[in-house]
């Protein structure tokens, strides 16, 4: 993420690629989605097929996701993860290594400190369901 000149909003996501793990990185290019809102706190799934991020709008922050079929393909148009976005302030998404758990920080509107919430799903591409409400300390996210 960056607030560099030429971005669409305050904070925007950028993507850099390389041909192999030992190749040099190419230039950082704007992510497919840019808005006047802030996009930040990206979390890439272990298989490289899902990119979760926080989108901060005028009223609250929500978790969004962009997907692709193969790590070599371009990202698809992102959208909100509706199952995890109540009218509260959400951020800092982290997806587990096996892609079946999503942890996020949630703060009630006007609240001062977030709690950690964990969502679970049966497999990739399936909807998220609430697994556990959290505490104000950050637990480890294990696959």
Q: Is the predicted pLDDT of residue 14 greater than 70, yes or no?
A: yes
Burial class for 60, CB neighbours closer than 10 Å (0-12, 13-18, 19+): middle
Specify which residues 38 forms β-bridges with.
56
Return the percentage of the chain with pLDDT > 70, whole number. 78
Is the Cβ–Cβ distance between 11 and 30 less than 8 Å? no
Burial class for 94, CB neighbours closer than 10 Å (0-12, 13-18, 19+): middle
Residue-wise pLDDT for 88-100, tens only, equals: 788 889 999 999 9
What's the pLDDT score for residue 7?
52
**Average model confidence (pLDDT) across the chain:** 81
Average pLDDT of the residues in 59-75: 88
Average pLDDT of the residues in 38-61: 86
pTM for this predicted structure: 0.81
Question: Of the candidates 89, 64, 85, 99, which has an alpha carbon nearest to the alpha carbon of residue 130?
Answer: 85
What are the sequence ranges of the domains in the chain? 27-132
């Amino acid at each position: 993420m960056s607030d560099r000149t030429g971005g669409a909003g305050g904070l925007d996501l950028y993507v850099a690629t390389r041909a192999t793990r030992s190749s040099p990185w190419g230039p950082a290019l704007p992510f497919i989605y840019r808005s006047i809102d802030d996009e930040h706190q990206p979390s890439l799934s272990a298989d490289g097929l899902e990119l979760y991020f926080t989108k901060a709008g005028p009223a609250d922050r929500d978790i969004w996701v962009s997907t692709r079929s193969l790590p070599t393909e371009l990202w698809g148009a992102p959208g909100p993860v509706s199952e995890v976005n109540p009218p509260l302030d959400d951020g800092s998404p982290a997806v587990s290594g096996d892609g079946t758990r999503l942890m996020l920080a949630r703060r009630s509107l006007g609240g001062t400190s977030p709690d950690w919430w964990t969502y679970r799903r049966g497999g990739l591409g399936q909807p998220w369901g609430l697994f556990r409400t959290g505490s104000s300390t950050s637990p480890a996210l294990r696959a």
